[in-house]
Amino acid sequence: MIACAAPGYLARRGIPAHPQELETAHEMVGYFSPADGRPRSLLFTRGDERVEIKRAPAARGQRGQHLSAGGAAGFGVIQTWR
């Protein structure tokens, strides 16, 4: 997985130094399950550290192209597959 954001979004909001900043200082574009409608958490790991972001995203979609479009439009940080 990789976290991405549009250059315009990063120019406005800054580059997050740590995933925990996504809890309060940044917007997210997230995936939701069509089965239950709930947004999926963003998960970041580095070595033994694991950070899970569970808050509701600013925009959400069911498919990868929805996430990519929202991220490219500057709605927030996305997490997608490389």
Which pTM was predicted?
Answer: 0.82
Structure tokens at 13: 């909001």
Look at the domain 2-80 and name its fold.
Answer: D-Maltodextrin-Binding Protein; domain 2 (3.40.190)
pLDDT tens column, 9-65: 999 999 999 999 999 899 988 887 778 877 788 889 999 999 999 887 777 776 777
Are the beta carbons of 26 and 18 closer than 8 angstroms?
A: no
Three-state SS at 17: coil
d(CA 51, CA 28): 15
d(CA 29, CA 58): 6
CA 31, 27, 12, 25 torsion-angle sign: negative
